[in-house]
């Protein structure tokens, strides 16, 4: 689904560059935001189809940003996938309770990421489990 707009929200510049590079190389139109406030402002003009949302952000965290996005009729249909180092039992459930449509843990599987993103864009709630690995 090349050409789809994706917003990567991460306060770690290395992670942001890596994810952006991987997805841009697959033909996605990728923009980045270093915090939740910047992401919420960017959504107004960029209108992404999917957001990869870090949950541990300075200031407003990714949980609250996702709740705001899902609570707004203008942005509720954007697919929001938690992209986080949270990997403890129950963390995926917390992300989904906040409104995340999916969950990808860090460290990022660079080979599997494009397939997972494509799966979420195709409406497969699991992010295309067939593409793991």
Question: Can you give the residue ranges of every domain in the chain?
Answer: 5-131
pLDDT (tens digit per residue) in 43-81: 999 999 999 999 999 999 999 999 999 999 999 999 999
Mean pLDDT of 21-50: 97
Q: Is the pLDDT of residue 17 over 70?
A: yes
Quote the mean pLDDT of the chain: 90
Comparing 105 with 51, which gets the higher pLDDT? 51
Share above pLDDT 70 across residues of the chain, in percent, rounded to a whole number: 89
Q: Is the pLDDT of residue 130 over 80?
A: no
Report the pLDDT value the prediction gives residue 124, as an integer from 0 to 100. Answer: 67
Tokens of 112: 């599997």
- What's the topology of domain 5-131? Rossmann fold (3.40.50)
User: Of 91, 83, 123, 125, which is closest to residue 107 (Cα–Cα)?
Assistant: 83
- What is the reported pTM? 0.90
- Give the 3-state secondary structure of the chain: CCCCEEEEECCCHHHHHHHHHHHHHCCCEEEEECCHHHHHHHHHHHCCCEEEECCCCCCCCHHHHHHHHHHCCCCCCCEEEEEECCCCCCHHHHHHHCCCCEEEECCCCCCCHHHHHHHHHCCCCCCCHHHCC
Query: Please, which residues have CB within 8 angstroms of residue 63's CB and are 6 or more apart in sequence?
Result: 55, 94, 95, 98
Report the pLDDT value the prediction gives residue 85, as an integer from 0 to 100. Answer: 81
């Amino acid at each position: 689904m090349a050409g789809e707009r994706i917003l990567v929200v991460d306060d770690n510049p290395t992670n942001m560059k890596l994810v952006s590079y991987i997805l841009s190389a697959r033909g996605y139109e990728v923009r980045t935001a270093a915090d939740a406030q910047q992401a919420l402002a960017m959504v107004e003009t960029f209108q992404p189809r999917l957001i990869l949302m870090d949950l541990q952000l300075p200031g407003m965290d990714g949980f609250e940003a996702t709740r705001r996005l899902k609570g707004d009729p203008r942005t509720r249909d954007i697919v929001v996938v938690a992209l986080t180092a949270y990997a403890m039992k129950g963390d995926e459930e917390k992300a989904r309770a906040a409104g995340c449509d999916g969950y990808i843990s860090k460290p990022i599987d660079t080979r599997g990421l494009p397939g997972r993103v494509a799966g979420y864009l195709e409406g497969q709630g699991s992010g295309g489990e067939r593409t793991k690995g």
